[in-house]
Amino acid sequence: MPLKTVICIGMAGSGKTTFMQRLNSKLHAEKMPPYVVQLDPAVLKVPYGANIDIRDAVNYKKVMQNYNLGPNGAIVTSLNLFSTKIDQVIRLVEQKKDKFEHCIIDTPGQIECFVWSASGSIITESFASTFPTVIAYIVDTPRNSSPTTFMSNMLYACSILYKTKLPMIVVFNKTDVCKADFAREWMTDFEAFQAALRADQESNGETSMGSGYMGSLVNSMSLMLEEFYSQLDMVGVSSFTGEGFDEFLQAVDNKVDEYETYYKAERERILKQKQEKEAENKKKSLTHLMKDLGLQEGETGAAKTSRNDDDSADVLSDLEPDEDDGIVLRDEEEAPEREYTFAGDERLGGEVNAQSAPALQERYERALEQVAKSASSRTAENIARYIQG
């Protein structure tokens, strides 16, 4: 079976690390220990054992000191440094894929540091291109009992879904404190959410809703998100009691099947489209290069030399003597046209010509002809290699 990768993403305080600890314990209890990757460089203690820990590779405090950064900047920089070695991480996980069924990844609590940074995209893409990957978006259920807060969280989940283009499970955590039934109802019944929004507005007064503006905005967004909800699996869990984790693991299996059926094919299509675009750009560059050199597509320097239908030439050595080529051979007894001047050389009288140094003059002429022929030959060889490659 392929290694199922679960990337846990959530707001600070949503219980993400506790969720990781409970999920780790659940899989160990079922004799399916996961491969654990910990990507939060600023955390002091984690309640689970990690196979790969970013803190072993990057010293968060040293990053702050060396680069004069604050907490969030240091997290982003630490992730950037770690992402330069992501190929080694992927190889380590690949070596263990026969021994593990799940790979679970914990991310920083500062969600924007991971989701919207280049390093977060690199890490996510690296895992998603190698293993079936699912995003688990952790939500703090008690804090989302308000319709406006709930809608804000759903918009964030929507942006992550379209940013990563991976299957997503919305995990409503802390159900031991507050049940997630209201969230399930709001996601499946538009009218129920509208009623809850009106009740919240009436109980808190219009000032809390921006004199009706916020209510209108949330109404519009909830209608728009109906299509988004259809792409999600929603699960309620309690990291404290362990309730709901069987349902979560079943949702992961469903999303892995969905990844293999839809997302993998879509990713392959995007990669193929990218390769075709790169090939097209390469062809355009080659066409421009050959146009600049006065060559037709498919010709090499040798073919250009033998073509007589164009009087243009790149260098003198490309032209061969012909009665119609416009070249007049100089008489051997005629004085040479080239003179080479060396300023300040009194011994040579300031210039080198047939009268002052005939042997040196001839050597310069031969050397110039050899350089021209060598340059023409190298140009032809480079174009031929470029066409073949």
Q: Computed from CA positions of residues 301, 307, 310, 316, in that sequence, does the dihedral angle turn out positive or negative?
A: positive
Distance CA 389, CA 279 (A): 11
User: How far from chain centre, in Å, is Cα 235?
Assistant: 29
Of the candidates 117, 176, 163, the one whose C-alpha atom is nearest the C-alpha of residue 137 is 163
Distance CA 304, CA 318 (A): 8
Residue 109 pLDDT more than 50?
yes
Cα–Cα separations (whole angstroms), residue 336 to 190, 328, 355: 94, 14, 10
Sequence-ordered alpha helix ranges (H) in the chain = 16-29, 60-67, 71-83, 86-95, 111-115, 118-128, 147-164, 181-188, 190-204, 213-224, 226-229, 245-258, 264-292, 301-306, 358-388
Residue 130 pLDDT more than 80?
yes
Q: Computed from CA positions of residues 352, 354, 357, 362, in that sequence, does the dihedral angle turn out positive or negative?
A: positive
* For the chain, percent of residues with pLDDT exceeding 90: 40
Distance CA 245, CA 103 (A): 16
Cα–Cα separations (whole angstroms), residue 337 to 316, 332, 363: 16, 12, 14
pLDDT value at residue 299: 52
Distance CA 161, CA 232 (A): 9
pLDDT value at residue 59: 92
Set out the domains of the chain in order of their start, with CATH numbers. 4-189+225-259 (3.40.50.300)
Is the distance from CB of 133 to CB of 196 less than 8 angstroms?
no
Residue 176 pLDDT more than 90?
yes
Tokens of 188: 């499946």
Distance CA 186, CA 167 (A): 21
pLDDT value at residue 336: 47
Query: Residues 208-262: pLDDT tens digits?
Result: 444 456 767 787 777 777 777 877 889 999 999 999 999 999 999 999 988 888 8
Distance CA 213, CA 205 (A): 13
DSSP string, 304-322: HHH--S----SSGGG----
Query: Residues 60-81: pLDDT tens digits?
Result: 999 999 999 999 899 999 999 9
Interhelix angle 16-29/245-258, rounded to 10 degrees, is 90
User: Residues 6 or more apart from 149 whose CB is under 8 A from it?
Assistant: 143
Q: What's the farthest any 2 CA atoms get from each other in the chain?
A: 111
Distance CA 64, CA 80 (A): 14
Q: Which residue has the tokens 């680069």?
A: 67
In this prediction, residues 36-42 reach a mean pLDDT of 94
DSSP 261: I
Is the distance from CB of 321 to CB of 309 less than 8 angstroms?
no
pLDDT value at residue 81: 93
User: How far from chain centre, in Å, is Cα 77?
Assistant: 16
Give the lowest-confidence range in 3-7, 142-146, 216-220, 325-329: 325-329
